[in-house]
């Protein structure tokens, strides 16, 4: 059996045609026909009020932080169990991240700890729907409303997922998506900012266009194109948008296959995991997840290390995930200490992810399962 990678971006033949059309059209910079079609499709798939394509989820998070006017003195509650970009966006504005621990079941921020971390300086909550399984949004939004705090969803994992029938990405004031190579829908690098509060749309377009009113100028809504606010270059090129359109048009096909793989792992590994003290992903019955990650929670770090080696020796790449950000070099500089987020610290040592991608064949899937089950704890 040839080596099985952890991830491989879905190859969608139509993307070649679309990218080539974009190149031949001569309109290579952003905001052309493919950007319009891609963002319209993203709006209809998510139900978000407005979808603005961006160069990455990292940049969409930076835009969200600017749009909330985060500044020195402000505090933002954020899980330590996330990718650096969720927190960088806060720190880049000079605001202070307040790390919150996760729940041991869904690995999402523990909403019961929220009120204890809120101070008069708390401006926002940047949450992450880990593996696309929703955070407890009713409770979180209720707390946020009571304290006049804005909620931003880092929805990098959660495109197409639902919470109590509602789409993730529409449950905060804004949400950010990633189309990085490692995500379900991928353009190599890419992302989007979903905006659910219409009052933020116009300024978001300005921030994405280097702080200019270029978008309004081209729509004929203003007669001068000028510098009106801070901003940066967050608009992707038409080739990226063309690739996104092809990927989004194939979303159902991609999602169907990913879900099959996820369900097969879950069913085939259930008995084995229970017998060996290994925990499989937990999905509350009111959450629909997008099959972004399939993880195993091993009994301890030593077993996980041996498991990754065992899979590797059989030419299968399985990988761990986030290291606690509050214990990273930067996190420690910001005041993080061991024991601040005990569940995060524990889970991060024990979690391992299995290969999960569109092109994974049935025989590869069977081989991964068989190899995992033959691992001796
Ligand atoms: C992938 C990811 C990001 C970063 O996405 P980019 O598009 O690479 O910037 C941010 N947050 C989370 C939770 C992610 O998984």
Q: Is the pLDDT of residue 1 over 90?
A: no
The neighbouring-strand residues paired with 4 are 316
State the distance from the centre of ligand 1 to the C-alpha of 2, rounded, in angstroms.
29
Axis crossing angle, helix 342-350 with helix 301-313, rounded to the nearest 10: 30
- Asked if 246 and 15 count as a contact pair (C-beta separation under 8 A), the reply is yes
pLDDT surpasses 80 at 16: yes
Domain 14-250 class in CATH: alpha beta
Q: pLDDT tens digit string along 181-200?
A: 999 999 999 999 999 999 99
The chain-wide mean pLDDT, for the chain, equals 97
Give the distance (Å) from ligand 1 centre to CA of residue 3.
26
Distances (CA, A) of 88 to 165, 266, 317: 31, 34, 29
d(CA 300, CA 309): 15
From the CA of 179, give the closest atom in ligand 1.
7
pLDDT of residue 216 exceeding 90, the answer is no
For 31-82, the pLDDT digits (tens) are 999 999 999 999 999 999 999 999 999 999 999 999 999 999 999 999 999 9
Q: Which tens digit of pLDDT belongs to each residue from 303-333?
A: 999 999 999 999 999 999 999 999 999 999 9
- Residue 2's pLDDT is 83
Rg over CA atoms, the chain: 21
Residue 108, ligand 1, Cβ within 6 A: no
- Could you give the percent of the chain with pLDDT greater than 70? 100
pTM: 0.98
Distances (CA, A) of 109 to 100, 113, 139: 6, 8, 12
| Per-domain residue ranges of the chain | 14-250, 252-373
The residue whose CB lies within 8 Å of the most ligand 1 atoms, and thus the one to mutate among 56, 90, 156, is 156
Does domain 252-373 match CATH 2.60.120.10? no
The per-residue pLDDT for range 78-120, each reduced to its tens digit, is 999 999 999 999 999 999 999 999 999 999 999 999 999 999 9
**Residue 6 in tokens:** 């952890």
């Amino acid at each position: 059996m040839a080596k099985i990678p952890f991830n491989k971006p879905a190859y969608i033949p139509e993307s070649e045609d679309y990218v080539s059309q974009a190149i031949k059209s001569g309109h290579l910079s952003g905001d052309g026909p493919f950007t319009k079609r891609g963002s319209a499709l993203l709006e209809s798939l998510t139900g978000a009020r407005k979808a603005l394509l961006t160069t990455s989820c990292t940049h969409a998070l930076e835009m969200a932080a600017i749009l909330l006017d985060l500044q020195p003195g402000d505090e933002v509650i954020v899980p330590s169990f996330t990718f650096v970009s969720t927190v960088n966006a806060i720190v880049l504005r000079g605001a202070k991240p307040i790390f919150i621990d996760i729940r041991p079941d869904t690995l999402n921020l523990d909403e019961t700890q929220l009120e204890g971390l809120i101070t008069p300086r708390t401006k926002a909550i940047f949450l992450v729907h880990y593996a696309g399984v929703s955070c407890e949004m009713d409770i979180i939004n209720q707390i946020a409303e009571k304290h006049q705090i804005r909620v931003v969803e880092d929805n990098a994992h959660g495109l197409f997922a639902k919470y109590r029938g509602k789409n993730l990405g529409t449950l905060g004031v804004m949400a950010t998506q990633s189309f990085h190579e490692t995500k379900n829908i991928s353009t190599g690098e890419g992302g989007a900012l979903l905006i659910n509060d219409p009052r933020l749309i116009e300024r978001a377009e300005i921030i994405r266009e280097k702080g200019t009113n270029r978008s309004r100028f081209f729509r004929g809504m203003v007669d001068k194109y000028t510098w009106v606010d801070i901003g940066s270059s967050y608009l992707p090129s038409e080739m990226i948008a063309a690739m996104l359109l092809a990927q989004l048009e194939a979303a159902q096909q991609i999602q169907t296959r990913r879900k099959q793989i996820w369900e097969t792992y879950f069913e085939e590994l259930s008995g084995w995991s229970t017998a060996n003290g290994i925990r499989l992903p937990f999905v509350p019955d009111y959450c629909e997840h997008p099959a972004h990650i399939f993880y195993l929670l091993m009994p301890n770090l030593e077993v996980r290390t041996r498991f990754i080696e065992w899979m590797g020796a059989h030419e299968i790449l399985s990988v761990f995930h986030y290291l606690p950000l509050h214990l990273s070099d930067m996190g420690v500089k910001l005041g993080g200490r061991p024991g601040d987020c005990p569940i995060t610290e524990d889970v991060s040592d024990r979690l391992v992810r299995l290969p999960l991608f569109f092109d994974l064949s049935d025989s590869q899937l069977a081989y991964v399962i068989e190899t995992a089950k033959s691992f001796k704890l």
